[in-house]
Protein backbone atom coordinates (compact mmCIF):
# COMPACT_ATOMS: atom_id res chain seq x y z
CA UNK A 1 0.00 0.00 0.00
CA UNK A 2 1.33 3.48 -0.87
CA UNK A 3 0.62 6.69 1.02
CA UNK A 4 1.41 9.99 -0.70
CA UNK A 5 2.80 12.78 1.45
CA UNK A 6 4.61 16.00 0.48
CA UNK A 7 6.35 16.05 3.88
CA UNK A 8 8.50 13.08 2.83
CA UNK A 9 9.72 15.09 -0.16
CA UNK A 10 10.39 18.11 2.07
CA UNK A 11 12.42 15.90 4.42
CA UNK A 12 14.54 14.63 1.50
CA UNK A 13 15.23 18.15 0.17
CA UNK A 14 16.34 19.31 3.64
CA UNK A 15 19.19 16.78 3.61
CA UNK A 16 22.40 18.08 2.00
CA UNK A 17 23.31 16.19 -1.17
CA UNK A 18 19.88 14.53 -1.53
CA UNK A 19 18.59 13.77 -5.01
CA UNK A 20 14.81 13.81 -5.19
CA UNK A 21 13.35 11.13 -7.46
CA UNK A 22 9.75 10.52 -8.61
CA UNK A 23 7.90 8.53 -5.96
CA UNK A 24 10.03 9.86 -3.10
CA UNK A 25 6.99 11.63 -1.66
CA UNK A 26 5.20 8.35 -0.92
CA UNK A 27 5.45 5.82 1.85
CA UNK A 28 5.28 2.14 0.91
CA UNK A 29 3.88 -0.12 3.63
CA UNK A 30 4.43 -3.84 2.94
CA UNK A 31 1.82 -6.49 3.72
CA UNK A 32 4.10 -7.94 6.40
CA UNK A 33 5.64 -5.51 8.87
CA UNK A 34 9.15 -6.10 10.23
CA UNK A 35 10.33 -4.80 13.62
CA UNK A 36 13.08 -2.17 13.32
CA UNK A 37 15.47 -0.33 15.61
CA UNK A 38 16.38 3.36 15.42
CA UNK A 39 20.13 3.95 15.11
CA UNK A 40 21.21 7.60 15.55
CA UNK A 41 24.19 9.24 13.91
CA UNK A 42 27.68 8.75 15.37
CA UNK A 43 28.49 10.02 18.84
CA UNK A 44 32.22 10.56 19.20
CA UNK A 45 32.81 12.26 22.57
CA UNK A 46 31.24 13.54 25.78
CA UNK A 47 33.27 16.71 25.32
CA UNK A 48 31.04 19.45 23.90
CA UNK A 49 32.20 20.38 20.37
CA UNK A 50 31.89 24.06 21.36
CA UNK A 51 30.25 26.87 19.43
CA UNK A 52 29.97 25.00 16.14
CA UNK A 53 27.17 23.72 13.94
CA UNK A 54 26.97 20.03 14.70
CA UNK A 55 26.21 17.40 12.06
CA UNK A 56 26.70 14.55 14.57
CA UNK A 57 24.99 13.46 17.77
CA UNK A 58 26.14 15.33 20.89
CA UNK A 59 25.54 15.86 24.61
CA UNK A 60 25.25 19.34 26.14
CA UNK A 61 23.69 21.22 29.03
CA UNK A 62 22.25 24.65 29.72
CA UNK A 63 21.87 26.02 33.25
CA UNK A 64 21.18 29.21 35.20
CA UNK A 65 21.27 29.81 38.97
CA UNK A 66 20.26 33.04 40.70
CA UNK A 67 20.61 33.76 44.43
CA UNK A 68 19.25 37.02 45.82
CA UNK A 69 18.54 40.13 43.78
CA UNK A 70 19.28 39.49 40.13
CA UNK A 71 17.92 40.53 36.77
CA UNK A 72 16.56 37.92 34.39
CA UNK A 73 19.00 36.24 32.03
CA UNK A 74 19.23 34.25 28.81
CA UNK A 75 21.61 31.29 28.56
CA UNK A 76 22.02 29.27 25.33
CA UNK A 77 23.70 25.98 24.47
CA UNK A 78 27.17 26.26 22.98
CA UNK A 79 26.43 23.69 20.26
CA UNK A 80 24.20 24.62 17.31
CA UNK A 81 22.02 22.08 15.49
CA UNK A 82 22.75 21.44 11.81
CA UNK A 83 20.13 20.70 9.14
CA UNK A 84 18.43 17.34 9.57
CA UNK A 85 16.15 15.20 11.66
CA UNK A 86 17.05 15.35 15.39
CA UNK A 87 15.80 13.47 18.43
CA UNK A 88 16.43 15.47 21.61
CA UNK A 89 16.14 13.67 24.94
CA UNK A 90 16.86 15.25 28.25
CA UNK A 91 15.86 16.26 31.72
CA UNK A 92 14.95 19.72 33.03
CA UNK A 93 15.20 20.54 36.75
CA UNK A 94 13.56 23.73 38.06
CA UNK A 95 13.68 25.01 41.64
CA UNK A 96 12.40 28.29 43.07
CA UNK A 97 12.16 29.42 46.67
CA UNK A 98 11.31 32.98 47.65
CA UNK A 99 8.79 35.72 47.05
CA UNK A 100 5.95 34.74 44.71
CA UNK A 101 5.69 36.83 41.57
CA UNK A 102 3.62 35.47 38.68
CA UNK A 103 5.00 38.15 36.34
CA UNK A 104 8.47 36.58 36.51
CA UNK A 105 8.57 33.61 34.15
CA UNK A 106 11.35 31.14 33.44
CA UNK A 107 11.24 29.11 30.23
CA UNK A 108 13.20 26.58 28.24
CA UNK A 109 12.99 25.86 24.52
CA UNK A 110 14.48 25.50 21.07
CA UNK A 111 15.44 28.79 19.39
CA UNK A 112 15.58 29.20 15.62
CA UNK A 113 18.23 31.25 13.73
CA UNK A 114 15.87 34.28 13.81
CA UNK A 115 15.84 34.16 17.66
CA UNK A 116 12.23 32.93 17.92
CA UNK A 117 11.72 30.40 20.72
CA UNK A 118 9.53 27.30 20.55
CA UNK A 119 8.82 26.93 24.27
CA UNK A 120 9.09 23.38 25.60
CA UNK A 121 8.49 24.35 29.24
CA UNK A 122 7.73 27.48 31.27
CA UNK A 123 6.82 28.35 34.85
CA UNK A 124 6.09 31.49 36.84
CA UNK A 125 7.76 32.03 40.19
CA UNK A 126 4.73 31.33 42.41
CA UNK A 127 6.44 30.52 45.70
CA UNK A 128 8.30 27.35 46.64
CA UNK A 129 8.26 25.24 43.47
CA UNK A 130 10.25 22.27 42.21
CA UNK A 131 9.97 20.37 38.90
CA UNK A 132 11.84 17.47 37.38
CA UNK A 133 10.70 17.07 33.77
CA UNK A 134 12.05 14.49 31.32
CA UNK A 135 11.46 15.21 27.63
CA UNK A 136 11.84 13.35 24.33
CA UNK A 137 11.27 15.42 21.17
CA UNK A 138 11.83 14.96 17.44
CA UNK A 139 12.44 17.99 15.22
CA UNK A 140 13.09 18.28 11.48
CA UNK A 141 15.32 21.34 11.06
CA UNK A 142 15.63 22.83 7.56
CA UNK A 143 18.22 25.46 8.53
CA UNK A 144 21.47 25.45 10.52
CA UNK A 145 22.02 27.21 13.85
CA UNK A 146 19.04 26.17 16.02
CA UNK A 147 19.99 26.06 19.73
CA UNK A 148 18.57 25.21 23.17
CA UNK A 149 17.94 28.15 25.50
CA UNK A 150 16.88 29.03 29.06
CA UNK A 151 15.35 32.40 29.94
CA UNK A 152 14.83 33.35 33.58
CA UNK A 153 12.85 36.11 35.26
CA UNK A 154 14.27 38.48 37.85
CA UNK A 155 14.65 37.62 41.54
CA UNK A 156 14.80 39.75 44.70
CA UNK A 157 16.76 39.47 47.96
CA UNK A 158 16.14 36.12 49.62
CA UNK A 159 15.09 34.33 46.40
CA UNK A 160 16.78 31.23 45.05
CA UNK A 161 16.20 30.14 41.43
CA UNK A 162 17.82 27.24 39.59
CA UNK A 163 17.06 25.94 36.07
CA UNK A 164 19.24 23.09 34.77
CA UNK A 165 18.79 21.14 31.54
CA UNK A 166 20.98 18.24 30.39
CA UNK A 167 20.19 16.81 26.97
CA UNK A 168 21.39 14.36 24.34
CA UNK A 169 20.75 15.28 20.71
CA UNK A 170 20.77 12.28 18.35
CA UNK A 171 21.14 13.03 14.63
CA UNK A 172 18.72 10.68 12.85
CA UNK A 173 19.05 11.94 9.25
Question: At 129, is the pLDDT very low, low, confident or very high (cuts 50, 70, 90)?
Answer: confident
State the average pLDDT over residues 89-101: 92
pTM of the entire predicted model: 0.75
75 has pLDDT over 90: yes
- Look at 43-52, 73-82, 115-124 and tell me which has the smallest mean pLDDT: 43-52
Print the SS3 string covering the chain. CEEECHHHHHHHHCCCCCCCCCCCCEEECCCCCCCCCCCCCCCCCCCCCCCCEECCCEEEEEEEEEECCECCEEEECCCEECCEEEEEEEEEEEEEECCCEEEEEEEEEEECCCCCEEEEEEEEECCCEEEEEEEEEEEEECCCCEEEEEEECCECCCCEEEEEEEEEEEECC
- Look at 38-47, 85-94, 96-105 and tell me which has the smallest mean pLDDT: 38-47
For domain 53-171, the CATH class is mainly beta
Domain ranges of the chain: 1-30, 53-171
Kindly report, residue by residue over 8-64, the tens digit of the pLDDT: 666 666 666 666 676 666 766 777 777 777 777 777 766 666 678 888 888 899 999
Amino acid sequence: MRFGNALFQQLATGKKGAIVEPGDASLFVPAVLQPVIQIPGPFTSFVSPGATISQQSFHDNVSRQQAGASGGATVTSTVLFGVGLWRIRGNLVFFFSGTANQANISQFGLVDPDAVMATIWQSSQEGPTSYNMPFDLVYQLNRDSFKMQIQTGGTIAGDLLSVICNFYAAKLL
